[in-house]
Chains A and B, each alone.
Chain A
Amino acid sequence: GAVVSQHPSRVICKSGTSVKIECRSLDFQATTMFWYRQFPKQSLMLMATSNEGSKATYEQGVEKDKFLINHASLTLSTLTVTSAHPEDSSFYICSARAPSGAGWQYFGPGTRLTVL
Protein backbone atom coordinates (compact mmCIF):
# COMPACT_ATOMS: atom_id res chain seq x y z
CA GLY A 1 0.00 0.00 0.00
CA ALA A 2 0.91 3.64 -0.24
CA VAL A 3 2.96 5.33 2.46
CA VAL A 4 1.99 8.39 4.45
CA SER A 5 4.34 9.88 7.01
CA GLN A 6 3.80 12.31 9.85
CA HIS A 7 6.26 14.45 11.73
CA PRO A 8 6.80 14.73 14.59
CA SER A 9 5.57 11.48 16.12
CA ARG A 10 5.44 13.03 19.57
CA VAL A 11 5.49 16.59 20.81
CA ILE A 12 5.25 18.08 24.26
CA CYS A 13 4.74 21.81 24.52
CA LYS A 14 3.79 24.47 26.99
CA SER A 15 0.34 25.96 27.08
CA GLY A 16 0.04 28.95 24.75
CA THR A 17 2.58 27.81 22.19
CA SER A 18 1.86 26.75 18.62
CA VAL A 19 2.68 23.34 17.21
CA LYS A 20 3.00 22.35 13.55
CA ILE A 21 2.41 18.79 12.37
CA GLU A 22 3.41 17.67 8.89
CA CYS A 23 1.71 15.00 6.80
CA ARG A 24 3.40 13.72 3.66
CA SER A 25 2.36 11.23 1.02
CA LEU A 26 5.65 9.61 0.10
CA ASP A 27 4.92 7.68 -3.06
CA PHE A 28 1.81 9.23 -4.55
CA GLN A 29 0.27 12.62 -5.12
CA ALA A 30 -2.68 13.41 -2.92
CA THR A 31 -5.04 16.17 -3.96
CA THR A 32 -7.04 15.56 -0.79
CA MET A 33 -5.77 14.93 2.70
CA PHE A 34 -7.71 14.62 5.93
CA TRP A 35 -6.94 15.47 9.54
CA TYR A 36 -8.43 13.46 12.40
CA ARG A 37 -8.24 13.64 16.16
CA GLN A 38 -8.54 10.66 18.45
CA PHE A 39 -9.04 10.82 22.20
CA PRO A 40 -8.27 7.76 24.34
CA LYS A 41 -10.63 4.86 23.67
CA GLN A 42 -12.64 6.97 21.27
CA SER A 43 -13.14 6.75 17.55
CA LEU A 44 -11.36 8.95 15.06
CA MET A 45 -13.14 12.25 14.54
CA LEU A 46 -12.65 14.08 11.27
CA MET A 47 -11.46 17.63 11.86
CA ALA A 48 -11.03 18.95 8.36
CA THR A 49 -10.56 18.09 4.71
CA SER A 50 -7.53 19.61 3.05
CA ASN A 51 -7.54 20.16 -0.70
CA GLU A 52 -4.34 21.13 -2.48
CA GLY A 53 -4.33 24.76 -3.48
CA SER A 54 -7.55 25.72 -1.73
CA LYS A 55 -8.86 26.42 1.73
CA ALA A 56 -9.56 23.53 4.04
CA THR A 57 -13.11 22.49 4.85
CA TYR A 58 -13.66 22.19 8.59
CA GLU A 59 -16.15 19.94 10.34
CA GLN A 60 -18.77 21.47 12.56
CA GLY A 61 -17.38 22.47 15.93
CA VAL A 62 -13.75 22.64 14.80
CA GLU A 63 -12.25 26.13 15.11
CA LYS A 64 -10.53 27.02 11.87
CA ASP A 65 -8.54 29.82 13.50
CA LYS A 66 -7.17 27.44 16.08
CA PHE A 67 -6.37 24.55 13.77
CA LEU A 68 -4.69 26.05 10.73
CA ILE A 69 -4.36 23.74 7.75
CA ASN A 70 -2.17 24.35 4.74
CA HIS A 71 -1.99 22.02 1.73
CA ALA A 72 0.60 23.79 -0.40
CA SER A 73 1.71 20.84 -2.50
CA LEU A 74 0.37 17.50 -3.70
CA THR A 75 2.46 15.65 -1.14
CA LEU A 76 2.36 17.86 1.95
CA SER A 77 -0.32 19.10 4.30
CA THR A 78 0.36 20.80 7.62
CA LEU A 79 -1.78 21.23 10.71
CA THR A 80 -0.84 24.01 13.12
CA VAL A 81 -2.41 24.00 16.55
CA THR A 82 -2.26 27.63 17.60
CA SER A 83 -2.13 28.73 21.23
CA ALA A 84 -2.37 25.15 22.39
CA HIS A 85 -4.07 24.33 25.69
CA PRO A 86 -4.12 21.11 27.72
CA GLU A 87 -7.52 20.17 26.27
CA ASP A 88 -5.88 20.05 22.84
CA SER A 89 -3.78 17.12 24.00
CA SER A 90 -4.73 14.26 21.72
CA PHE A 91 -3.58 11.89 18.99
CA TYR A 92 -3.67 13.62 15.61
CA ILE A 93 -3.74 11.43 12.50
CA CYS A 94 -3.71 12.44 8.87
CA SER A 95 -4.76 10.48 5.83
CA ALA A 96 -4.31 10.93 2.12
CA ARG A 97 -6.70 9.93 -0.59
CA ALA A 98 -5.08 7.82 -3.29
CA PRO A 99 -5.49 9.13 -6.83
CA SER A 100 -7.12 5.94 -8.12
CA GLY A 101 -10.86 5.90 -8.43
CA ALA A 102 -11.28 3.12 -5.89
CA GLY A 103 -11.19 5.63 -3.05
CA TRP A 104 -8.51 4.19 -0.79
CA GLN A 105 -7.37 6.37 2.07
CA TYR A 106 -3.96 5.77 3.60
CA PHE A 107 -3.17 6.91 7.09
CA GLY A 108 -0.09 8.31 8.72
CA PRO A 109 1.35 6.92 11.97
CA GLY A 110 -0.12 9.74 14.05
CA THR A 111 1.28 12.49 16.26
CA ARG A 112 0.84 12.42 20.03
CA LEU A 113 0.45 15.99 21.28
CA THR A 114 0.76 16.72 24.97
CA VAL A 115 0.18 20.28 26.15
CA LEU A 116 1.41 21.02 29.65
Chain B
Amino acid sequence: KQEVTQIPAALSVPEGENLVLNCSFTDSAIYNLQWFRQDPGKGLTSLLLIQSSQREQTSGRLNASLDKSSGRSTLYIAASQPGDSATYLCAPNSGGSNYKLTFGKGTLLTVNP
Protein backbone atom coordinates (compact mmCIF):
# COMPACT_ATOMS: atom_id res chain seq x y z
CA LYS B 1 0.00 0.00 0.00
CA GLN B 2 1.39 3.36 -1.07
CA GLU B 3 2.09 5.84 1.72
CA VAL B 4 3.02 9.46 1.14
CA THR B 5 4.82 11.75 3.57
CA GLN B 6 5.28 15.46 3.08
CA ILE B 7 7.81 17.51 4.99
CA PRO B 8 7.53 20.06 6.44
CA ALA B 9 3.90 20.00 7.50
CA ALA B 10 3.88 23.79 7.60
CA LEU B 11 6.23 26.48 6.37
CA SER B 12 6.18 30.24 6.79
CA VAL B 13 8.53 32.39 4.73
CA PRO B 14 8.92 36.06 3.83
CA GLU B 15 7.99 37.14 0.35
CA GLY B 16 10.72 36.66 -2.23
CA GLU B 17 12.32 33.58 -0.73
CA ASN B 18 13.03 30.45 -2.69
CA LEU B 19 11.75 27.32 -1.00
CA VAL B 20 11.62 23.55 -1.33
CA LEU B 21 8.80 21.23 -0.38
CA ASN B 22 9.56 17.56 0.08
CA CYS B 23 7.53 14.48 -0.70
CA SER B 24 8.44 10.84 -0.11
CA PHE B 25 6.52 7.73 -1.08
CA THR B 26 6.98 4.09 -0.15
CA ASP B 27 6.18 2.29 -3.41
CA SER B 28 8.48 3.37 -6.22
CA ALA B 29 6.46 1.53 -8.87
CA ILE B 30 4.60 4.63 -10.00
CA TYR B 31 3.34 5.79 -13.37
CA ASN B 32 3.66 9.48 -12.67
CA LEU B 33 3.47 12.00 -9.86
CA GLN B 34 1.36 15.14 -9.68
CA TRP B 35 1.76 18.21 -7.52
CA PHE B 36 -1.34 20.17 -6.57
CA ARG B 37 -2.22 23.21 -4.55
CA GLN B 38 -5.34 23.49 -2.45
CA ASP B 39 -6.70 26.78 -1.15
CA PRO B 40 -8.80 26.63 2.05
CA GLY B 41 -12.20 25.10 1.42
CA LYS B 42 -11.48 24.61 -2.27
CA GLY B 43 -10.70 21.82 -4.65
CA LEU B 44 -7.28 20.98 -6.05
CA THR B 45 -5.44 22.85 -8.76
CA SER B 46 -3.02 20.79 -10.82
CA LEU B 47 0.46 22.31 -10.89
CA LEU B 48 2.87 19.85 -12.43
CA LEU B 49 2.98 16.26 -13.58
CA ILE B 50 6.20 14.26 -13.84
CA GLN B 51 6.23 10.99 -15.70
CA SER B 52 8.10 8.13 -14.06
CA SER B 53 10.75 8.33 -16.79
CA GLN B 54 11.40 12.03 -16.20
CA ARG B 55 13.65 13.73 -13.68
CA GLU B 56 12.03 17.14 -13.53
CA GLN B 57 9.35 19.43 -14.87
CA THR B 58 9.14 23.20 -14.86
CA SER B 59 6.22 25.60 -15.04
CA GLY B 60 6.95 29.25 -14.46
CA ARG B 61 8.40 29.69 -10.97
CA LEU B 62 7.74 26.05 -10.11
CA ASN B 63 10.14 23.18 -10.63
CA ALA B 64 9.40 19.63 -9.58
CA SER B 65 11.96 16.85 -9.46
CA LEU B 66 11.49 13.13 -9.17
CA ASP B 67 13.85 10.44 -7.93
CA LYS B 68 11.70 7.41 -8.46
CA SER B 69 14.17 4.84 -7.19
CA SER B 70 14.47 6.53 -3.82
CA GLY B 71 10.79 7.43 -3.65
CA ARG B 72 11.26 11.18 -3.47
CA SER B 73 9.99 14.29 -5.18
CA THR B 74 10.59 17.93 -4.44
CA LEU B 75 8.73 21.06 -5.43
CA TYR B 76 10.88 24.16 -5.74
CA ILE B 77 9.15 27.53 -5.68
CA ALA B 78 11.24 30.50 -6.77
CA ALA B 79 10.70 34.06 -5.60
CA SER B 80 7.69 33.22 -3.48
CA GLN B 81 4.69 35.55 -3.41
CA PRO B 82 1.81 35.94 -0.93
CA GLY B 83 -0.48 34.46 -3.57
CA ASP B 84 1.49 31.22 -3.31
CA SER B 85 0.08 30.68 0.18
CA ALA B 86 -1.85 27.40 0.11
CA THR B 87 -1.51 23.74 0.95
CA TYR B 88 0.66 21.84 -1.50
CA LEU B 89 -0.04 18.19 -2.10
CA CYS B 90 1.96 15.57 -3.93
CA ALA B 91 0.30 12.46 -5.28
CA PRO B 92 2.03 9.52 -6.91
CA ASN B 93 -0.07 7.69 -9.47
CA SER B 94 -0.08 3.91 -9.34
CA GLY B 95 -0.89 3.58 -13.03
CA GLY B 96 -2.34 0.24 -14.04
CA SER B 97 -5.99 0.06 -15.01
CA ASN B 98 -7.30 2.72 -12.66
CA TYR B 99 -4.62 5.37 -12.27
CA LYS B 100 -5.10 5.82 -8.54
CA LEU B 101 -3.57 8.80 -6.78
CA THR B 102 -2.38 8.56 -3.18
CA PHE B 103 -2.15 11.79 -1.22
CA GLY B 104 -0.08 12.94 1.69
CA LYS B 105 -1.33 15.47 4.23
CA GLY B 106 0.35 18.28 2.39
CA THR B 107 2.55 21.22 3.31
CA LEU B 108 0.78 24.38 4.43
CA LEU B 109 2.74 27.28 2.98
CA THR B 110 2.36 30.84 4.19
CA VAL B 111 4.21 33.58 2.36
CA ASN B 112 4.28 36.79 4.36
CA PRO B 113 4.31 40.18 2.61
Contact = CB atoms under 8 A, between A and B. Distances in A.
Interface stretch (A11-19, A42-50, A61-69, A77-85): A42-50
Interface string B101-113: 1111110000000
Contact of A34 (B42, B89, B101): B101
B76 interface: no
Interface stretch (B31-39, B65-73, B77-85): B31-39
B107 to A, nearest CB: 12
B43 A109 contact: yes
Contacts of A107: 36, 43-46
Contacts of B98: 32, 49, 57
A43 B106 contact: yes
Instruction: Please classify how large the interface on chain A is, using the bins under 10, 10 to 19, 20 to 34, 35 or more.
Output: 20 to 34
A34 B34 CA distance: 15
B49 A103 contact: yes
A103 B95 contact: yes
A20 B64 CA distance: 37
Contacts of A45: 103
Interface of B: 4, 31-32, 34, 36, 41-46, 49, 51, 89, 93, 95, 98-106
